[in-house]
Amino acid sequence: MSYNAVETIVAKRDGGHLEDAQISWLINAYTNGTIADEQMAAMAMAVLFRGLDDAELNAWTNAMINSGERLNFDGLARFAVDKHSTGGVGDKITLILAPLVAACGAAVPQLSGRGLGHTGGTLDKMEAIPGWQAYLDDAGMRHQLETVGAVICAAGADLCPADKKLYALRDVTGTVESIPLICSSIMSKKIAEGAHGLVLDVKVGSGAFMKTPERAHELATRLVGLGKGAGVATVALLTDMSTPLGLTAGNALEVAEAVEVLAGGGPADIVELTLALAREMVALAGLDVDPADALADGRAMDVWHALVRAQGGDPEAPLPASRHSDDIVAAASGFVTRLDAYDVGVAAWRLGAGRARKEDAVQAGAGVVLKVKPGDKVVKGDVVMTLHTDTPERFADARRALEDALEIGPTAPPPTPLVIDRVV
């Protein structure tokens, strides 16, 4: 049966159900250039408003997987398990988690991405390490998994090319927030990647794409359903992203904080979330170990050093530092009652830690260092944040982003859980 782009768009626009073959044709035609960007933009907007039912979402995801190659980790001596975060501010968890879970006995093929807008990217953080290379071919990736146990790298050009085109289109057409399009984007890459198990860190709050627990739960449920349907053992944690994770937002700053955790220190929230995700990953891998032990005894740090060196980096080299800094002080005395993740992420972005377009460069040393978190007591005039950049003319815009980021009140706020829910 032949299909037509306009008829397919109209069918979804009017709430119709798209057949599997029709969706496969649509994705293939867009990938090979038969369907123009403006037509796929219209389809993405139709999906944003009308959604995709479970059958449509499954077909859409499979079509994106089938647009390129699939990796296969069968035959590895270790169970291959991956983690994916839906994106946040100060989220350097992958840098600790990959070597930690590898130290527990699993293989961790961590295909990662770059930051865009207020959310940071794992590859940008890793590239702050002198000499470190993001790109490995399939053979190199498999060899590193066999010898080191973990790899953090960019996805190859042949992995889900449909997603690369559609992701870029969504970013400039206001359709990023569509739950079906988020699901198919994440899971097409993760299923094609070939891991046997997957733990999803679904962020919820001001610094996340999903602002409410209800939306985050819907996203997590559909992601888990796609994973299990593809034969991948999958579990999701809903975690708070109303406050930045840890005390840093910015590439080299976050690497330094991750290394601090690997050395047995670091902020309590980073340690808590890392261990929560690691325990889910080792459970999927069938390993009867406690990741806290591998963090405490230095095994995770040993794998980190091996991972960085295997990809050309020097784990002992000094990290880049920005040339200029600027302090923000408390406007009143009291307790920090709110520290908004989105505002901090925007400030780090404006300082040069992030990018507005995929082709933009980032400053490795730029970002925000937090001196306080919600619940901390401050005195008027105390330094509450320090801004870092190589281009001091950016300070004014960063300060504007932070005007309402921090609130101070007479009493400390009640503690809020970091892990909100678990979806299986």
Q: CA 300 to CA 164: how far, in whole Å?
A: 32
DSSP result, 96-132: HHHHHHHHTT-BEEEEE---BTTB--HHHHHTTSTT-
What confidence score (pLDDT) does residue 353 get?
A: 95
Whole-number pLDDT of residue 424: 97
Residues tagged active-site: 84, 163, 170, 185, 189
- Give the mean pLDDT of 239-261: 98
Which H or E run includes 81?
strand 81-85
Measured CA to CA, the distance from residue 197 to residue 190 in angstroms comes to 10
Domain ranges of the chain: 5-51, 81-310, 324-409
Under 8 Å between Cβ of 31 and 162 = yes
Taking 90 as the threshold, does the pLDDT of residue 358 lie above it?
A: no
> Which CATH code of 3.40.50.300, 3.30.200.20, 1.20.970.10, 1.10.10.10 fits the domain covering 5-51?
1.20.970.10
Q: How confident is the model at residue 1 (pLDDT cuts 50, 70, 90)?
A: confident
Determine the pLDDT at residue 301: 98
3-state DSSP call for residue 260? helix
Q: For residue 126, what pLDDT is reported? A: 97
pLDDT at 361 over 90: no
Bridge partners of 369? Answer: 248, 386
Q: What is the CATH number of domain 81-310?
A: 3.40.1030.10
- Model confidence at 374, in pLDDT bands (50, 70, 90)? very high
Distance CA 166, CA 185 (A): 8
Tokens 């959310």, located at residue = 119
Taking only the tens place, the pLDDT of each residue in 11-47 is 999 999 999 999 999 999 999 999 999 999 999 999 9
Instruction: State both tokens at 96.
Output: 């600790």
Return the CATH superfamily for domain 324-409. Pyrimidine nucleoside phosphorylase-like, C-terminal domain (3.90.1170.30)
Q: State pTM to two decimals.
A: 0.95
Could you list the beta-strand ranges (E) of 283-382: 324-329, 334-339, 367-370, 377-378
Distance (Å) of CA 259 to CA 93, 99, 256, 344, 353: 11, 11, 5, 22, 19
Cβ–Cβ under 8 Å, residues 175 and 45: yes
- State the pLDDT at residue 357: 74
- Whether residue 145 is predicted with pLDDT greater than 80 in this model: the reply is yes
Tokens 């739960």 locate to 217
Return d(Cα 96, Cα 93) in angstroms, integer: 5
Distance (Å, whole) CA 126 – CA 109: 15
Residue among 88, 364, 355 at smallest CA distance from 246: 88
- pLDDT of 159 strictly over 80: yes
| Contact present, 223 and 406 (Cβ < 8 Å) | no
Interval 398-403 mean pLDDT: 98
What are residue 385's DSSP bridge partners?
328, 370
Closest C-alpha to 197, from 239, 162, 235, 157: 235
Per-residue model confidence as pLDDT tens digits over 77-88: 999 999 999 989
Count of residues in the chain: 424
The first and second tokens of residue 39, run together, are: 């037509």
Q: Which two tokens mark 268?
A: 């309590």
112 forms beta bridges with: 154
